[in-house]
Structure 1
Amino acid sequence: MTQDEAILLLEYVAAACPAQRIGEFTPDVWGELFAPYSLDDARAAVLVIARQQPFIAPADVIAEIKARREERIELAHIVYNGDPVETGAESAAARRALIKAAGDGLTGPSSIGRSLGAGDHLALPPGADHGPYEGRAAAVRAAIGTMPLSGDRSSDPRARACRRCGAAPGSSCTTGGRRRRDVHPVRLEDTQRAAAGLPLLDHDQAEARIKAASAAALAVRDEDQEQEAKAS
């Protein structure tokens, strides 16, 4: 993130949290803190946090960004068999490049499910030879551009908002303010129905019908018990 992007991020924070104090040097500090991260990831994190609390600390934003990156890496299912002729350091550099690309969202869910060898789109691009390890990582980064992205996210529950906890698309569900490793059942159900071309269920009406049926059953039971008591 550049310094100008950090200023844009703070404007976004100010719009989401009008009561938050932003001083003269706040953009400078935030620019240094968020230099390793992208503006898009930071803005998405701000949206998540602003739904939960009235003020936004840089540590909260960074924690949310890291959590989102970890989710992308987990969904990517990275498999890297490497090249028999490469060194251990080259293999480690190439794998780090893949992991970073997955965290950046460049690969799509479950899109790195195959090995990448020396002959698999890994020829060094012009000008990529920046050292024994960096060159190999640059080759892998170039190969990522030739890998098919997963354009169909209809089966990914995190690609849609959750009606249960209000989690934004791409964010994890929460319960009691704590991040869940799985998603709420209604979010999974909505995803499955949407993928099948079915309309979403109105769970509020369904819950109301269940409560009404339960109340009616209790009323019948109480009436039966009252009649039994009179008969005895």
Structure 2
Amino acid sequence: MNQDEAIMLLEYVSAACPAQRVGEFTPDVWGELLAPYNLADARAAVLAVASRQPFVSPAEIITEIRERRAERIALANPVYDGNPTETGIESARSVRALLRAAADGRLQQRTITAALGKADRPALPAGTSESGRVRALLDAAAKEAPRVREGVVNVRATVCQRCGAGPGASCTARGRRMSDAHPVRLADAQRAAAGLPPTDPAEEQREIDRRIAASAARAAAESARHHSEDAT
């Protein structure tokens, strides 16, 4: 979802939830939080959430989208037959592409029996091997760029423990907005992307103190060694 689509989605939310307040920077925040998802799924999620309650939040939209995508994968029962010429990394990418195609709704629903068996599968075009069936699915999935940008960490989606900047806001130092984020915020964003909890400031301070003490101990030992050599 891009920024223009985020604005369109918020207009949709305003129509579904007239009492919901939309501020000047709301599209910016929503655009970043919902960047990995497409507008069609987000609009369907808005309808589902708005049918249960008077207000809609990005977190509720994301939860609804993830549940719908998981349901599509379960209904499609995607099975990757494998390719002996692929490396481990290539095979993992192929599996992810197949699952993404299923989650996007580009694979038809089928039972697990149909997924594992071959008797009830549609006939293949002449000259197409069984492994070619999966390859065709993967090639089709590859034509659409992944919506989740692999390796990209959304730092502004996290709260900064150093300056207190909220989601969508920039870090500040001495009352001025920073062009970069505080290191602790970047670390928290990286941990969030990996499914880990935020860093513990107390633990971080203990680690800093430990390193300072270790450095001081090494300096003291080195100084003592030099004094001993001078004495001899």
Output the TM-score relative to the length of structure 1: 0.51
Output the TM-score relative to the length of structure 2: 0.51
1:143 deviates by 6.7
Structure 1 residues 119 and 50, CA, compared in 2 at 3 Å: closer, same or farther? closer
1:122 deviates by 3.2
Q: In the aligned structure 1, how far is the partner of 2:68 from the partner of 2:103?
A: 8
Q: How does 1:56-75 map to 2 (within 5 A)?
A: 56-75=56-75
* Native 8 Å contact 2:42 2:61 kept in 1: yes
Q: In the aligned structure 1, how far is the partner of 2:141 from the partner of 2:104?
A: 15
Q: Runs ≥4 in structure 1, deviation > 2 angstroms?
A: 111-123, 141-145
Q: What SS does structure 1 have at the residue aligned with 2:115?
A: coil
Please name the residue that 1:47 is paired with: 47
1:81 deviates by 1.4
Q: In the aligned structure 2, how far is the partner of 1:96 from the partner of 1:71?
A: 16
1:141 deviates by 3.4
Q: What SS does structure 2 have at the residue aligned with 1:122?
A: helix
Q: What SS does structure 2 have at the residue aligned with 1:113?
A: helix
Q: Structure 1: give runs of 5+ residues left out of the alignment.
A: 124-138, 146-232
Which moved further from structure 2: 77-86 or 45-54? 77-86
Residue 116 (structure 2) pairs with residue 103 (structure 1): no
* Native 8 Å contact 2:81 2:134 kept in 1: no
1:63 deviates by 0.2
Please name the residue that 1:140 is paired with: 138
**Alignment root-mean-square deviation, CA:** 2.5
Out of 135, 142, 145, the residue aligned to residue 122 of structure 1 is 135
> How many pairs were matched up?
130
Q: In the aligned structure 1, how far is the partner of 2:139 from the partner of 2:54?
A: 39
Q: Deviations over 1:85-141 (max 9, x none)?
A: 211211111010000011111112128826986544738xxxxxxxxxxxxxxx813
* Native 8 Å contact 1:97 1:140 kept in 2: yes
Q: What SS does structure 1 have at the residue aligned with 2:15?
A: helix
1:2 deviates by 1.1
Q: In the aligned structure 2, how far is the partner of 1:143 from the partner of 1:90?
A: 14
Q: Deviations over 1:35-86 (max 9, x none)?
A: 1001000000000101111110110000000000000000010111111121
Structure 1 residues 78 and 121, CA, compared in 2 at 3 Å: closer, same or farther? closer
Q: In the aligned structure 1, how far is the partner of 2:15 from the partner of 2:29?
A: 19
Please name the residue that 1:27 is paired with: 27
* Native 8 Å contact 1:78 1:113 kept in 2: yes
Query: Percent identity among equivalent residues?
Result: 59
